Amino acid sequence: MPTEQPAPEPGPESVNTPRAAPVPYAPEGTPPGEDGHDPAEAPFLGLLAVGAAAEEYERPVLRARAGGASAGRLAALERAKLRALRVRAELEDRRRREAELSALYATAHDLAGLRDLDAVLRAIVCRARSLLGTEVAYLTLHDPSAGDTYMRVTDGSVSARFQQLRLGMGEGLGGLVAQTARPYVTDSYFHDERFRHTRTIDSGVQDEGLVAILGVPLMLGSGVIGVLFAADRRERVFEHGQIALLAAHAAHAAVAIDTANLLAETRKTLTELEAANEIIRDRSAVIERASDVHDRLTELVLRGGGVQDVAGAVAEVLDGEVEFTEPGAAPAEALDRSRADGHAVRDGADWVAAVGAGGEVLGALVLRGHPALDPVDQRTLERAAMVTSLLLLARRTAGEAEQRVRGELLDDLLNAADRDPRLLRERASRVGADLDVPHVVLAARTDGPDGGDDDAHSHGADRRRLWSAASHLAATRRGLAAIRDGGAVLLLPLDPDGDPTHAASEAAARLGAALHLPVTVGASAPVPAPAARPAAVADAYAEAGRCREALRVLGRAGQGAAAADFGFLGLLLADTRDVHGFVHRTLGPVTEYDARRGTELLRTLGAYFACGMSPARTKETLHVHVNTVAQRLDRVSRLLGPDWQTPARALEIQLALRLHQLSSAVVGDTGA
């Protein structure tokens, strides 16, 4: 029958246990050393030093026995072997406990950073399952009003009935843990008679298929607030170290839960205080007019109004002209006084209210031609300045938050090819992106500094501006943007018949106009559905980066291009090595003309290059008149363009001819 296994008290462990220095193997007959060590221990010390497997410790004994060692020598080796194996087991146990402690410290750190109760509970259960490597983990919380515990969070559970269980005190293993405030473990739940089985609980456990269950209490002081479980759907013996590990995790978890509850109560109290303050404000006859203005400004903000809308509303209430000005356009002396005093100040016939936050001046609201201003109207202007600052900060924060969300999603696509496509789609939908349609990856970068601290600082500012402009472009195109490798990377949707070259050129033009600097942009081949194949995004980014660097090497900085724009170089830049596409782009008009008319322009073109671009030698090779060669070459010029014989075009055409001949030969051999 399974027995109760209370968690042992965790003791201090060093996480940096020093390892012994390697000791060389001592051959047979080595006399005792001056340090007093038995020579029989030498080979085993060497094995300990290198972390050898347990079976390796038998070899020194076997070698000694094969070498005819004396019985005393063999007995000494056996004793040394046993001591070494005990040391090895102790070292292995220490390393395991160090790993568990490291994981526990990491868990405590993660929990300390969470503030939302639901997030804390989910993190506790997920990390418990990870720490013990179980199939299921779950957490129940105490319900003081009902006097029982109820299922709060599960991870790995598939049964709806199990997820809705409630456990009375003393009922089931969890009820026993909650009642006694001690850990309990069973390797076979349905054969364990230490706790009271009930039909409801047993049905839920059976529905989930659980067999081995470990439960530890969540303690705050001397009270139990819940129970944390780790369970498997097969028989399993939980070791004492694992019980202690889960108990330590539960101790951290209880503190995190208490912190999250306190924060929630604090937020609730603050909300109630704000509501009470609003009621007091609304009932005050002295500030009734200011409250009315506040309501109007709030309505403006909620409707999506801008700074100028706020200024217009205040101008209507105060019956004057109100203007929002940038910091440099406002009266400097009045702006400084308003910022220092925190109130609107008079400047001749005008009134100036600083708009700022956290010591940063964002601008000013200026009421013109209104020298006589009573305290209520002055407060109205000041409140309008406050609302304006909040509006500016909110929009700035919203923009930065959206940029971070888009950047983090794109970073995940680039770094983690094993992300769950469903989660990627959900995250993309929150920012208005659709990762199930074709996209193109763009790699953008400005030129780096030539040298010096000033140049480096200027280039750093240019990169930040590039990131801001790229994020804005991605937001307007329902795409994603992130900082990457000293530049920016964008993932933009592409129409099914869209052109990556056009996307790169347009991005280079728009980013360059925003920065007033040349921005070089490389484009990848289309990525059909990034959510379905996240790994394709990283490959596409590598291709886009190669295209961007090729533009810079070729002296085309400030332009945008894809692999198809580099001719035969595109075969080296593109991941797909689209030989057929290159041949079609280069010779397509000629091959299609031959197919329609039954002509031999392609054969003539091959012979022309083979004969050193000499029409006279070409006509001898083809056994036709030289005028026929000239007429065919004239037709080629009309099909391929007048520059087809320039060195660069001629090289591409000759390469395409060779590739066409090779592909035709391969197809012919396959058909034969």
180-193 residue pLDDT tens: 889 999 999 999 88
Residue 137 has pLDDT above 90, yes or no: yes
Residue 431 CB coordination number (10 Å) = 16
Residue 671 has pLDDT above 70, yes or no: no
Element (H, E) at 520: strand 519-523
Q: How wide is the angle at C-alpha 447 spanned by C-alphas 446 and 451, nearest 5°?
A: 135
Residue 359 CB coordination number (10 Å) = 6
**Which of 8-17, 49-58, 111-120 has the lowest average pLDDT?**
8-17
Element (H, E) at 208: helix 199-208
Residue 430 CB coordination number (10 Å) = 11
Place of tokens 């105060």: 318
pLDDT for the residue numbered 597: 85
What's the mean pLDDT in 449-458? 48
Name the packing angle between helices 601-610 and 579-597 (round to 10°).
120
Q: How far is CA 306 from the centre of its chain?
A: 33
Phi, psi (rounded to 5 degrees) for 349: -90, 0
Structure tokens that stand for 104 in this block: 């526990």
pLDDT for the residue numbered 190: 92
Q: How far apart are CA 330 and CA 333, in angstroms?
A: 9
261 pLDDT band (50/70/90 cuts)? confident
Place of tokens 């009315």: 292
Residue 601 has pLDDT above 60, yes or no: yes
Q: How far apart are CA 488 and CA 408, in angstroms?
A: 13
Place of tokens 């770094």: 415
Residue 231 has pLDDT above 60, yes or no: yes
DSSP secondary structure letters along 169-187: TTBHHHHHHHHHTS-EEES
Torsion of CA 452, 458, 459, 461, to 10 degrees: 150
Residue 467 CB coordination number (10 Å) = 19
What's the mean pLDDT in 422-433? 82
Q: How far apart are CA 282 and CA 263, in angstroms?
A: 28
pLDDT for the residue numbered 667: 40
- Of 128, 93, 132, 121, the C-alpha closest to 107 is 128
Contacts of 531 (CB under 8 A, 6+ apart): 421, 424, 425, 428, 435, 436
Structure tokens that stand for 249 in this block: 């995790």
DSSP secondary structure letters along 190-248: GG--SSB--HHHHHHHHHHT--EEEEEEEEETTEEEEEEEEEESS-----HHHHHHHHH
Structure tokens that stand for 491 in this block: 């993932």
Residue 14 has pLDDT above 50, yes or no: no
Q: How far apart are CA 9 and CA 432, in angstroms?
A: 51
Q: How far apart are CA 575 and CA 550, in angstroms?
A: 15
- Of 537, 518, 529, 457, the C-alpha closest to 494 is 529
Rg (CA), the chain: 38
Q: How wide is the angle at C-alpha 605 spanned by C-alphas 603 and 610, nearest 5°?
A: 95
pLDDT for the residue numbered 10: 42
Structure tokens that stand for 50 in this block: 């290198």
**pTM exceeds 0.75, yes or no:** no
Q: How many residues does the chain have?
A: 672
- Of 369, 387, 383, 388, the C-alpha closest to 322 is 369
pLDDT for the residue numbered 22: 39
Structure tokens that stand for 298 in this block: 């709030």
pLDDT for the residue numbered 657: 75
Q: How far apart are CA 525 and CA 543, in angstroms?
A: 8
pLDDT for the residue numbered 56: 81
Phi, psi (rounded to 5 degrees) for 441: -100, 130
Place of tokens 């912190």: 259
What's the mean pLDDT in 286-311? 68
pLDDT for the residue numbered 26: 42
Q: How far apart are CA 264 and CA 452, in angstroms?
A: 51
Residue 69 has pLDDT above 60, yes or no: yes
Pick the most confident of 36-40, 77-81, 315-319: 77-81
What's the mean pLDDT in 617-636? 84
Pick the most confident of 227-231, 584-588, 628-632: 227-231
